[in-house]
């Protein structure tokens, strides 16, 4: 083991202990560790942006690119400069155009991803469970049908749960139909089960990370002492 390996191992051990100090409550050494983490993360992101975005997509085309590449590189450069105008109140209206472009693009990507990746994907995966191939074993066929029915029921009832519109009659309070309320209750059960499973997964991942750090501390102590 080289001297550099020992130094980095001790640094990792120190940072791990500083993070674990949060078990005794918020304290200055834990805050120092978070500041270091945020600083390192910001530096890493800035380096990635410089070498993988600014240089290959803007600076390099402007310096050694063709005329068409320079024109296309000027567009994001101008939009980026205009976006910086939001920092100054006197010229902040100049940043409206790039901000509108970013918001519109983000909304389009989000909606497209939700429709194509979530709704269509969920629907396709749900109906695929009812694909009765000729070579399916009867036992597996029954299990596939039961699984498909549960997934279909969970998908429909969960979507019904988020249906909040209803027709109003006279001065009576707005109420949904009884059958919609029943399906909504079933969907609520599926939502609770899903959130519970997600929480359990996060909890297990946290415990696994803690076990890994405790094992790292033990290994360092065994190696050095």
Query: How far is residue 82's CA from residue 88's CA, in Å, rounded to a whole number?
Result: 11
Q: Which residues contact 92 (CB under 8 A, 6 or more apart)?
A: 85, 86
What was the pLDDT predicted at 2?
80
Q: Which residue has the tokens 């009812």?
A: 130
Which pair of tokens denotes residue 163?
């249906």
Residue for token digits 């001065």? 171
Identify the segments of the chain with pLDDT beneath 50. Answer: 134-135, 137
Show Cβ contacts of residue 177 under 8 Å, excluding neighbours closer than 6 positions. Answer: 166
Task: Give the residue from 167, 168, 165, 162 showing the smallest Cα distance to 184.
Answer: 162
Q: Using one digit for the tens of pLDDT, what is the confidence trace for 6-55? A: 888 888 889 888 988 988 888 899 999 999 999 999 999 999 999 998 89
Rounded to whole angstroms, the Cα distance separating 146 from 130 reads 9
CA–CA separation, 90 and 86 (whole Å): 9
Torsion of CA 172, 178, 180, 186, to 10 degrees: 130
pLDDT at 135: 46
Residue 19 CA to residue 32 CA, distance in Å, equals 9
Torsion (CA) 38, 42, 45, 49 in degrees, nearest 10: 170
Please enumerate in sequence order all residues whose Cβ is within 8 A of that of 16, keeping only pairs 6 or more positions apart, or say none: 213, 216, 217
Q: How many helices (H) and strands (E) in the chain?
A: 8, 0
CA-closest candidate to residue 57, choices 42, 77, 82, 81 = 77
- The length of the chain is 225
Residue 98 has a CB neighbour count (10 Å cut-off) of 19
Q: Which long-range contacts (CB under 8 A, 24 or more apart) does 158-161 make?
A: 158/187, 158/190, 158/191, 159/187, 160/184, 160/187, 161/187, 161/188, 161/191
Q: Tokens 């000729």 label which residue?
A: 134
pLDDT digits over 164-174, tens only? 665 555 556 56
């Amino acid at each position: 083991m080289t001297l550099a390996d020992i130094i980095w191992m001790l640094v990792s051990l120190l940072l791990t202990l500083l993070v674990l100090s949060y078990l005794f409550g918020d304290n200055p050494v834990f805050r120092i560790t978070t500041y270091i983490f945020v600083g390192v993360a910001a530096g890493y992101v800035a380096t990635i942006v410089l070498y993988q975005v600014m240089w290959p997509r803007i600076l390099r085309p402007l310096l050694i690119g063709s005329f068409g590449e320079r024109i296309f590189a000027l567009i994001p450069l101008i939009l980026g400069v205009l976006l910086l105008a939001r920092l100054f109140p006197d010229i902040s209206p100049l940043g409206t155009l790039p901000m509108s472009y970013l918001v519109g693009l983000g909304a389009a990507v989000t909606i497209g991803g939700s429709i194509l990746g979530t709704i269509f994907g969920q629907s396709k995966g749900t109906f695929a469970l009812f694909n009765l191939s000729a070579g399916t074993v009867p036992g597996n066929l029954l299990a596939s049908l039961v699984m498909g029915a549960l997934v279909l029921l969970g998908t429909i009832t969960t979507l019904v749960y988020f249906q909040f519109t209803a027709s109003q009659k006279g001065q009576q309070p707005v109420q949904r139909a009884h059958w919609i309320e029943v399906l909504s209750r079933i969907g609520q059960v599926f939502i609770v089960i899903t959130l519970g499973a997600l929480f359990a997964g996060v909890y297990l991942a946290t415990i696994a990370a803690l076990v890994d750090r405790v094992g790292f501390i033990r290994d360092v102590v065994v190696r050095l002492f």
